[in-house]
């Protein structure tokens, strides 16, 4: 059967084995009553003011056939009267003595510990109760409560004892009261389990305090190469070779095309002014920004940076040795250039 036909069903179909026949009878009678055609399946009564018409009989027959199994529908397809079909199904599945032993077995085997949730157990218990009531045997609230509390799992004995105390103290007298209390407790337990699984014991993260703060001497650790390149300066430590340094220093600067040679300490050598050189402008802008920010214009003679003096220098011995080697090399280059021009 297609999904469209399944959506037209008002209740569950009657199985070919007669499973759930009592519930099916109750559903059919309720729908026939709602449509005003219940008299179509009742014995003929001449006292009725409105007798069943062929149209009403057809409506009742369609409703019954749509809610029975395909095997039953094929078997009783020759029956054209709803009253006749109703009687035939009642004779086949309506013997209470045939289903009563099965219901008693279900009731005896009912265990609260066999269900995963309280809702599933509640649904099954109420279903057995309604079917037994249809067969003439009714279960009381006392029977349902005692059945539930006596079949608790072993891991929940303390919880079972608490409910027994509530039941003996007459604070729980109805089965639905017990179910409501158990549903609330189950909801709280699920929240606790969810919170525990999200962060088990001993896995709480400890946030680092004052991370990246200043050191004991008050000097913040910074990325030296990033600081050098921030203002467009070329550090002596990121130059690969000495030959490249000489080529960079020999490049023409300014509008007059003259060379800037022998620059020591940021000052232009012989050969004309270098104020229009892009490297000189970037250096001048960086120096002005540092001066405006409160930094010293003097260069540390140990590492070459102008953010501190020699006494406050925190540079490593390796960095100081590299700067000393660079400074000696620059002085030698300036001396050689001066002698050649003379």
Same domain, 118 and 24: no
Residue 219 is predicted with a pLDDT of: 45
Tell whether 217 is covered by a domain.
Answer: no
Name the more confident of 94 and 217: 94
Mean pLDDT of 81-88: 92
Which among 127, 108, 110, 112 is positioned nearest to 182, based on CA atoms? 112
Q: What is the pLDDT of residues 230-285, one digit of tens each?
A: 444 555 555 555 544 455 544 444 444 444 444 444 444 444 444 455 554 554 45
Tell whether 207 is covered by a domain.
Answer: no
Q: Burial level of 112, CB count in 10 A (0-12/13-18/19+)?
A: buried
Look at residues 31, 63, 94 and tell me which one is the last residue of a structural domain: 94
Look at residues 175, 194, 213 and tell me which one is the last residue of a structural domain: 194
Same domain, 323 and 255: yes
Same domain, 89 and 159: no
Same domain, 235 and 263: yes
Same domain, 234 and 337: yes
Q: What is the pLDDT of residues 106-155, one digit of tens each?
A: 999 999 999 999 999 999 999 888 888 877 788 999 999 999 999 998 88
Tell whether 201 is covered by a domain.
Answer: no
Average pLDDT, the chain: 74
Which among 54, 22, 27 is positioned nearest to 40, based on CA atoms? 54
Question: Alpha-carbon distance 158 to 156, whole Å?
Answer: 6
Most confident of 26-40, 221-235, 302-316: 26-40
Tell whether 107 is covered by a domain.
Answer: yes
Residue 285 is predicted with a pLDDT of: 53
Q: Would the pTM count as exceeding 0.75? A: no
Tell whether 214 is covered by a domain.
Answer: no
Residue 336 is predicted with a pLDDT of: 55
Q: Does the pLDDT at position 67 exceed 80? A: yes
178 pLDDT band, cuts 50/70/90, is: very high
Q: Does the pLDDT at position 185 exceed 60? A: yes
Question: Alpha-carbon distance 25 to 306, whole Å?
Answer: 97
Tell whether 211 is covered by a domain.
Answer: no
Quote the tokens at residue 50: 């409105």
Contact assessment for residue 11 and residue 67, using Cβ atoms and an 8 Å cutoff: yes
Same domain, 165 and 232: no
**φ/ψ (deg, to 5) at 227:** -70, -35
Question: Alpha-carbon distance 254 to 326, whole Å?
Answer: 26
Structurally, the chain folds into a number of domains equal to 3
Same domain, 90 and 131: no
Look at residues 194, 216, 246 and tell me which one is the last residue of a structural domain: 194
Q: Does the pLDDT at position 73 exceed 80? A: yes
Same domain, 177 and 156: yes
Q: Which domain holds residue 103?
A: 97-194
Q: For residues 191, 192, 193 and 197, what is the CA-based torsion angle, rounded to 10 degrees? A: 100
Same domain, 229 and 316: yes
Quote the tokens at residue 290: 């540092």
Tell whether 210 is covered by a domain.
Answer: no
Same domain, 239 and 163: no
Q: What is the pLDDT of residues 196-241, one digit of tens each?
A: 787 766 666 555 554 454 444 444 444 544 444 444 455 555 555 5
Same domain, 58 and 40: yes
Same domain, 21 and 33: yes
Mean pLDDT of 92-115: 84
Name the more confident of 308 and 15: 15
Name the more confident of 305 and 163: 163
Tell whether 213 is covered by a domain.
Answer: no
């Amino acid at each position: 059967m297609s999904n469209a036909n399944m959506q037209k069903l008002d209740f569950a179909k009657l199985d070919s084995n007669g499973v759930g026949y009592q519930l099916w009878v109750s559903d059919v009678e309720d729908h026939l009553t709602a449509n005003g055609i219940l008299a179509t399946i009742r014995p003929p009564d001449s006292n009725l003011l409105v007798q069943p018409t062929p149209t009403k009989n057809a409506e009742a027959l369609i409703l019954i056939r749509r809610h029975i199994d395909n095997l039953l529908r094929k078997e009783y397809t020759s029956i054209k009267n709803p009253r006749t079909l109703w009687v035939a199904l009642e004779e086949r599945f309506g013997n209470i003595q045939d289903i009563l032993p099965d219901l008693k077995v279900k009731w005896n085997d009912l265990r609260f510990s066999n269900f995963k949730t309280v809702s599933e157990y509640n649904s099954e218990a109420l279903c057995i109760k309604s079917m037994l009531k249809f067969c003439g045997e009714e279960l009381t609230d006392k029977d349902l409560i005692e059945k539930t509390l006596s079949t608790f799992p072993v891991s929940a004995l303390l919880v079972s004892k608490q409910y027994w105390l509530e039941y003996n103290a007459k604070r729980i007298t109805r089965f639905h009261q017990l179910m409501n209390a158990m549903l609330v407790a189950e909801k709280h337990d699920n929240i606790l389990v969810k919170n525990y699984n999200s962060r088990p014991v001993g896995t709480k993260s400890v946030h680092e305090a004052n991370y990246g703060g200043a050191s004991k001497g008050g000097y913040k650790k910074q990325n030296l190469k990033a600081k050098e390149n921030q203002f467009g300066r070329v550090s002596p430590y990121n130059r690969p070779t000495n030959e490249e340094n000489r080529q960079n220093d020999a490049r023409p600067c300014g509008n007059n095309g003259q060379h800037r040679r022998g620059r020591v300490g940021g000052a232009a050598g012989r050969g004309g002014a270098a104020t229009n050189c892009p490297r000189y402008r970037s250096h001048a802008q960086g120096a002005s920004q540092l001066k405006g920010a409160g930094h010293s214009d003097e260069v540390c003679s140990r590492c070459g940076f102008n953010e501190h003096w020699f006494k406050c220098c925190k540079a490593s011995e390796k960095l100081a040795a590299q700067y000393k080697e660079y400074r000696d090399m620059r002085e030698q280059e300036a001396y050689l250039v001066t002698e050649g021009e003379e």
